[in-house]
Amino acid sequence: MSGFLEIQAIEKRWGHGVTVGPITLDIARGEILALLGPSGSGKTTMLRLLAGFETADGGRIAVATEDVTNVPPARRRCGMVFQHYALFPHLDVGQNVGFGLPGSNARDAKVTAALNLVDLSGFERRKVHELSGGQQQRVALARALAPEPRVLLLDEPLSNLDPTLRERTRRELRQLIKRVGITTVFVTHEQEEAFDLGDRVAVLNAGHLEQTGSPEELYEHPSSLFVASFVGRANVFRGAAARALGLTRADYVLVVRPERLRFGDAGLPGVVRERRYTGAAAFFQIEGDDGQRFEVLAEPDGAQVGARVYVEATRVIALPDEAGRR
């Protein structure tokens, strides 16, 4: 499959042996791809390579079949929203949004249209510092979209917002991007954000692409122990506990999501050490007979702290033991 945005074996080498890539990804026209990974995984470097702020040491980036690997950022036609928005404080909202537009009669109309798009009509003359965090984020988005870029790049766009606003903005952002139909790549370290906003998620770890797929694929069929543990909550069972849950291979571990474990009359024995009530359900921390601790997500009255319980798994994921390989 060849995408609208093609990333072929792109690589960036820093000093001290730190390398990002080689990474190959194809992103379809209008698709939203989330780059998900922990700090230092190389996701921001990837975004900066796409924007042209970093020079690739190998590989190729193409937008609509045009090779842009060595095209400077000013001519790459990638709109970018920065983590702290990077709005120009000496310009008002209208001037910020119109910054990337050529000076013509249509400029004002385009600024108005871009502000309408983000529900900020009439904000043209407002000072940037007078706006709330959410409004600044929308101005940054309008500014990035106004020159009609081919690709939209978002660097942790919601990290500056408070949690309540973040959830609402996430939905609005997705709706807006889908309405515009622009191919989008965004960086986040939050799984929930990646799942909510992205059509597909690419998980990066230590500069390498671990897995790409839909949120469901990543959650239900992780390709590595890292993905299984990083994407969602995961109990990792080794040894006797893993064998009790049905694992047969010695060089493998068993990954079980907390909601895929349930209390029963038989199964893995243990004692309830802690109960964390979350409303609709509760997390029960169980200490197995071999000392391993794991979590069960069950109904709030599923067990009592201190009680001896038996746990069954309704779905398990067997994965090669990365700790064992190292």
Q: Could you list the residues that contact other proteins (CB under 8 A)?
A: 12-16, 48, 51-55, 57, 72-80, 82-84, 86-90, 99-100, 127-130, 143-144, 147, 153, 160
Q: Based on CB atoms, which residue is closest to other proteins, 136 or 212?
A: 136
Phi, psi of 187 (to 5 degrees): -105, 135
Q: Based on CB atoms, which residue is closest to other proteins, 83 or 214?
A: 83
**Residue 164 Cβ, how far from other proteins at the closest point, in Å?**
20
Q: Based on CB atoms, which residue is closest to other proteins, 76 or 166?
A: 76
**Residue 25 Cβ, how far from other proteins at the closest point, in Å?**
20
**Residue 78 Cβ, how far from other proteins at the closest point, in Å?**
6
Rounded distance, CA 259 to CA 234, Å?
Answer: 9
**Residue 55 Cβ, how far from other proteins at the closest point, in Å?**
5
Q: Quickly list DSSP for 248-314.
A: --TTEEEEE-GGGEEEESSSEEEEEEEEEE-SS-EEEEEEETTS-EEEEEE-TTS--TT-EEEEEES
Per-residue burial over 234-273, b if 16 or more Cβ lie within 10 Å, else e, is bbbbbeebbebbebeeeebbbbbbbbbbbbeeebbebebe
Q: Based on CB atoms, which residue is closest to other proteins, 88 or 276?
A: 88
Q: Based on CB atoms, which residue is closest to other proteins, 73 or 269?
A: 73
Rounded distance, CA 19 to CA 25, Å?
Answer: 17
**Residue 15 Cβ, how far from other proteins at the closest point, in Å?**
2
Q: Based on CB atoms, which residue is closest to other proteins, 79 or 213?
A: 79
**Which amino acid, 215?**
P
**Residue 57 Cβ, how far from other proteins at the closest point, in Å?**
6
Three-state DSSP at 136 gives helix
Work out the angle at residue 116's Cα, subtended by the Cα atoms of residues 110 and 117, and round it to the nearest 5 degrees.
90
